[in-house]
Amino acid sequence: MNPSAIELRAVRKRFGDTAVINGVTLAIARGERHAIIGPNGAGKSTLFNLISGRHPVSEGAILLNGAPISGLKPFEINRRGLARSFQVTNIFHNLSVFENIRCAVLWPLGYRYSFWHRLSGLRDARERAEAVMEEIGLARRRDTPAGVLSYAEQRALEFGITIAGGAEVILLDEPTAGMNRSETAAATALIRKVAAGRTLVMVEHDMSVVFDLADRITVLVYGAVIASGPPAAIRADPRVQEAYLGTANA
């Protein structure tokens, strides 16, 4: 059987005495669009930080395409084909939009730590960066320093850096946070397009985005999974309605 893209086995995370993740077991199949929802403080972002290697797990194991990744550094996990975005925009503010994106394609294209290639001679890196800029709608802002972009543009760049490397598994932490209705619609369409052929996991508060995009939904409450399944089943689940949707959809 094909291994899952991401698998969590009895994962626990404690910060000091506070248990934030209480034994999460979860499998996300390849090619799936999976949303993780739950009330504030449920541990969704922490779960992302564990999967992407930002924080080490306290107990349990995390597997990427069947291979254990818990204990690896973020860059090691990234090189194995997992990229993530951040809830709080996390970009290279002194570099131009183009440089931001190009930095994100250098490792996957094999240029690594090279100090013997001329950047301006790397056609593949330039073309890939330009294609991504086109895709996220920032081609016009090519030479603008990232730090002076508008909020929505910075969110787009954040997304662009995440997808530019061509990772198979993509984690998006609240990709539409702070966006208005039309921006959210554009972002949703873009995510759908980019997710084709890849595995997508996202934390999202906007229920219309979640039910629009996700193949499966996992509901996290107090660091534990209370339900996981297709959108229709989640919508109908009484525990979910009680714990979460009941307040959100009232």
| Residues at the contact surface with other proteins, assessed by CB under 8 A | 52, 54, 73-75, 78-79, 83-84, 86, 90-96, 98-100, 102-104, 106-108, 111-120, 122, 126, 143, 145, 161, 164-165
Which of helix, strand or coil describes residue 150? coil
Cα(159)–Cα(111) distance, integer angstroms:
22
Judged by beta carbon, residue 130 or residue 215, the one nearer other proteins is 130
With CA atoms as reference, report the closest residue to 220 among 35, 4, 8, 5. 35
DSSP state of 130: H
Instruction: With beta carbons less than 8 A apart as the criterion, state whether 126 and 69 touch.
Output: no
Shortest distance (Å) from residue 215 CB to other proteins: 25
Q: Which is nearer to other proteins, 94 or 247 (CB)?
A: 94
Q: Which of 58, 53, 68, 59 is nearest to 3 (CA)?
A: 68
Length of the chain counted residue by residue: 250
2 or 115, CB closer to other proteins? 115
Which one, 16 or 113, has the nearer CB to other proteins? 113
Is the CB of 72 or the CB of 225 nearer to other proteins?
72
Q: How far is the CB of 103 from other proteins (least distance, A)?
A: 5
* DSSP of 154-175: HHHHHHHHHHHT--SEEEEEST
Q: Nearer Cβ to other proteins, position 114 or 208? A: 114
Q: Report which secondary-structure segment, H or E, holds 128.
A: helix 123-135
In the complex, the smallest distance separating the C-beta of residue 74 from other proteins, rounded to whole angstroms, is 4
Q: Which is nearer to other proteins, 20 or 104 (CB)?
A: 104
State the minimum distance, in angstroms, from the CB of residue 56 to other proteins: 14
Cβ neighbours of residue 118 under 8 Å, at least 6 residues apart? Answer: none
CB 186 to other proteins: min, Å: 23
Cβ 117 to other proteins shortest distance, Å: 6
Shortest Å distance, C-beta 236 to other proteins: 37
Contact of 171 with 74, CB cutoff 8 Å: no
Give the pair of three-digit tokens for residue 175.
């990709």
User: CA 78, 42, 55, 12: dihedral to nearest 10 degrees?
Assistant: -110
Q: Which residues pair with 82 in a beta bridge?
A: 169
